[in-house]
Chain A
Amino acid sequence: MPEPNPEDVLLLASDAARLVLASGAETYRAEETAQAFCSALGGVEAECYATPTGVLLSFFGPDGRSRSIVRRIKGRSMNLERIAGIHALTRDLYAGRAEFHQAAAGLDALERLSGYPAAVTLAGAAAAAGFFTLLYGGAWNDALVAAPVGALLSRLTRILSRHGISDFFTNITGGALAALACLAAGLAGWASGPDTAIIGSIMLLVPGVAITSAIRDTIAGDLVAGVARGADAFISAAGISIGAGAAFGLWRLAGLGAL
């Protein structure tokens, strides 16, 4: 087996770390993935430093010279299939069951995963919003209002992020839309408690997992990554609340009822 070119290894390992982080995994997982890729492919003393927005990686090649690279991470969204795929790839590479070319092809395939069809995703969003409304004490009719609002929210965020709108404005729009739709349903008499329906549908946007990951990263010793994730969580929550707050204000101004 010919030794892979160190520059190619650097690119592959940093790509793996970037993909792990962009799929929403913990910071230490990205760092350990990059290090495992480098060591398995002939790199020595691999060091990786990852934050939610970028990866730095360096190692010494067989010739004793150091190589390093910086990768920037723009968008992040949870993709567990990708995380599991990269985990399997790392195991294969490390156990010697895969070589450089197989790993590169595998990573490429993981990057282009298609995921669930749009209809299934919509149904998932509707189910999540509806059942969270029930879990948080809503009535049946509230859940039936929250479900389509949830599906609409997941569609809207997907379209907006595809067009490069920043997460902050996506969250403002989402929060306003959810609040207005649930308030209108309450006015029409479809929902008995618009508040629970709003919370249920907004569960799709709120950074509950993000704030928990922030604290997990901090506990694991990735202090910079943890603080960055916490800031991300607070900014998303702020966006959603600004949107919802504006919707409540408009509702009051229009004289449709106090909240």
Chain B
Amino acid sequence: MNPLELLWAALATAGFAVLFHLRPRDLPLAVVGASLGWWIFSAVRAAGDPAIGYFAAAAAIGFLSELGALVFKKPAFLYMVCSILPLVPGSGMYNTMLQSVRGDFPGSLAIGFSTLQAAGAIAAGLAVSSALARLVSLAAAARRRSVEPPPGPQIGPGSGRGFEDDSGGDARRSGWISAK
């Protein structure tokens, strides 16, 4: 792989991040994730399997984004959606439709299936990393609860059925807040 490609991936992602209204202070992590993802993808693709390359790159991007989410207290989605930009099969979607507009249906189907394979592999990679992040934050929340009982959400008086009747709901909610 041409090492310059890492730079192109980073700069293209930075340009796109502006269109996605990403604030400048979140830009560095998104750009690093894009380069990392492209590097992993290129390495695995060179070894022979683009689908596994998409999956591995997306999983790595997902982990990095979840880590950034923990550190910066922002949704991982911010970093993830920018970092996967060089990988997402946009040109595949275009080519699928272009072949069918031109009347080449077998070609359209072939490109279409490889496009869906790429998108599926990326989505699966991201799902693996966010599932893991959710598990980790749930475990952390459960441990916090067992050590010292937190005050719990103070909803004013008269809130009727309240939160008491769904135990576990609290851990789920704090997991939700810190997972993303």
Contact = CB atoms under 8 A, between A and B. Distances in A.
A23 to B, nearest CB: 8
Given A84-B78, A241-B98, A3 B156 contact: yes
A96 interface: yes
Contacts, number: 209
B12 A211 contact: no
Interface string B153-179: 111101111110000000001001100
Interface residues of B, number: 64
Contacts of B122: 212, 215
Given A3-B156, A136-B91, A216-B126, A79 B20 contact: yes
B contact face: mostly helix, strand, loop, or mixed: helix
B29 interface: no
A83 B8 contact: no
B127 A216 contact: yes
B135 to A, nearest CB: 15
Contact of A154 (B17, B19, B155): B19
Contact of A233 (B18, B82, B93, B160): B93
Nearest to B99: A241
B15 interface: yes
Nearest to A237: B93
Interface stretch (A49-57, A101-109, A125-133, A183-191): A125-133
A90 B19 contact: no
Contacts of B94: 199, 202, 206, 237, 240-241, 244
A39 B164 CA distance: 13
A48 to B, nearest CB: 13
A231 B166 CA distance: 37
Contacts of A63: 160
A64 B141 CA distance: 31
A44 B164 CA distance: 11
Interface in A93-122: 94, 96, 113, 115-116, 120-121
Given A90-B177, A132-B8, 4 more contacts: A25-B77, A127-B11, A204-B19, A211-B93
28 contacts: A3-B159, A29-B180, A42-B158, A44-B162, A78-B81, A80-B21, A80-B26, A82-B21, A83-B77, A84-B78, A90-B177, A94-B177, A121-B18, A125-B15, A130-B12, A131-B8, A134-B12, A203-B91, A206-B93, A208-B93, A209-B81, A209-B90, A212-B88, A212-B119, A238-B101, A240-B94, A241-B97, A241-B100
